[in-house]
Amino acid sequence: MRKFRRLGICAAAILAGVVLPFSYVQAEEEDNKEVREAGIMTERQLGIKALPDSGEAARFTYQSGLDFEYPDAVRGIYVTGPSAGGAKMEELTKLVEDTELNAMVIDIKEDHGNITFEPEEGSPYAEVAEPFIDDPRAMLEELESKGIYPIARVVVFKDSLLAEKRPDLSFTENGQVWKNGKGESFVNPFMEEVWEYNVELAKQAAELGFEEIQYDYVRFPEGFGEREDILTYGQGKYADLEMDHVQKRVQAVTDFVEYAKGELKAYDVDVSVDIFGYAATIPEAPNIGQNFSKISSNVDVISSMIYPSHWGSYFGIAKPDEEPYRLIDEYAKVENEVLGKLDDKPTSRPWLQDFEAPWLYSGAMKQYGKAEVEAQIKALNENGIDEFLLWNAGNNYTSNVDYTPMN
């Protein structure tokens, strides 16, 4: 770990209920800069390397000591904390090694708010740790030896643990932290303290050796616009903006993504964001604050969740779950058009479905196996999209799938 890291001061303050102005954080960054320039610590002590000076002040990037090559095209699977730290990791590693797959998206911060490894002593994240991954560095070294590209998944604004600890950073109703129909709570994207809490954790993942940080749940709760009038929550610096509520939500979510990428610039990692697929088909998702183009403009990779089972009647397809090729083909055409309008478009790497959706059926349900997974990949490839990720919540992936790129 870097010796000059903020030592979790910001996160500790958040968990303790102390409001920490961003001016403090900025001032501390300036202090770090002075320390570096004064040569009080050597580059080796700092864990960084100097990049060539191009007339500006010398820039530095953190070096984890691991060396991963970006694949020809990322083709990955989702891996939970328990899987990554348990016996199933051997099975999943073999799957990647024996196929055209080459990457893993590994939970570092889960949907409930837990982190999946034991942080360093005194870390403010210790109380939310479920250390499924006993030795994340050893895990990454093993992935390095096998040429498997590691991506750290960090769930951002769905965080029941932080919401209960700090109701002032969440949404309350009648004095209680609000929960959705599944009993889950969200923290407030307007609150910059929440940004800091998640980005500091992402920096630790980068220090461990992850090559990419993937942010998930970068949004307000579903249907937020329908209940915003009955919830109590702060708007921070957005309170006085002359915008309607929808645009404030969009601005806050977009600003978080821009901030997160900027903060990770010195770590030489890519930044990706998971986003609802339908967000690409509309100007912006008003309830949740996701604007596909604005988020895409601030990331290296955009990962739309385009599981056929998660669409209603769309693109003229009455039952998308039963027509995976057609759904993905129609979506890809729309996404290509939207991304094509951006000056600096990110890599497209959608999430594909490798699971059944029994909730859609009263009788026999559509089975997802080799043909259905391959159909989705084929649809992407035919539209010039070569990267993808496979989702299965239990990490039980279909056998004998041909992941070979068409191009």
Bridge pairing between strands 176-177 and 172-173: antiparallel
Closest CA to 273 of 252, 300, 246: 300
Cα(394)–Cα(241) distance, integer angstroms: 43
In a domain, 299, yes or no: yes
In a domain, 25, yes or no: no
Q: Which pLDDT value is given to residue 82?
A: 98
Q: Which pLDDT value is given to residue 192?
A: 98
| Segments of 277-394 assigned E as strands | 301-305, 347-348, 351-353, 388-391
Q: Which pLDDT value is given to residue 185?
A: 98
pLDDT in tens, 348-360: 999 999 999 999 9
Cα(133)–Cα(117) distance, integer angstroms: 5
Task: Report the domain count for the chain.
Answer: 1
Q: Which pLDDT value is given to residue 60?
A: 66
In a domain, 341, yes or no: no
Beta-carbon neighbour count of residue 167 at 10 Å?
A: 19
Look up the CATH number of the domain holding residue 185.
3.20.20.80
In a domain, 200, yes or no: yes
CA 120 to mean position of chain CA atoms: 22
In a domain, 259, yes or no: yes
Phi, psi of 78 (to 5 degrees): -85, 140
Phi, psi of 329 (to 5 degrees): -60, -45
Q: Which pLDDT value is given to residue 129?
A: 97
Beta-carbon neighbour count of residue 396 at 10 Å?
A: 13
Cα(374)–Cα(354) distance, integer angstroms: 10
In sequence order, what are the residues at sequence separation of 6 or more whose Cβ sits closer than 8 angstroms to the Cβ of residue 75? 100, 101, 102, 103, 387, 388, 389, 403, 405
Per-residue pLDDT of the chain (407 residues; tens, 9 = 90+): 333 344 354 565 566 554 444 333 344 444 444 433 333 333 333 344 444 444 443 456 788 999 999 999 999 999 999 999 999 999 999 999 999 999 999 999 999 999 999 999 889 899 999 999 999 999 999 999 999 999 999 999 999 999 999 999 999 999 999 999 999 999 999 999 999 999 999 999 999 999 999 999 999 999 999 999 999 999 999 999 999 999 999 999 999 999 999 999 999 999 999 999 999 999 999 999 999 999 999 999 999 999 999 999 999 999 999 999 999 999 999 999 999 999 999 999 999 999 999 999 999 999 999 999 999 999 999 999 999 999 999 999 999 999 998 76
In a domain, 20, yes or no: no
Residue 245, domain extent: 67-305
* 3-class secondary structure per residue, 327-392: HHHHHHHHHHHHHCCCCCCCEECCEEECCCCHHHCCCCCCCCCHHHHHHHHHHHHHCCCCCEEEEC
| C-alpha torsion sign, points 278, 194, 301, 350 | negative
pLDDT in tens, 330-347: 999 999 999 999 999 999
Name residue 252's amino acid.
Answer: A
pLDDT in tens, 143-159: 999 999 999 999 999 99
Can you give the pTM of this predicted structure?
0.87
In a domain, 232, yes or no: yes
In a domain, 222, yes or no: yes
| Segments of 110-243 assigned E as strands | 115-117, 129-133, 149-155, 172-173, 176-177, 212-216
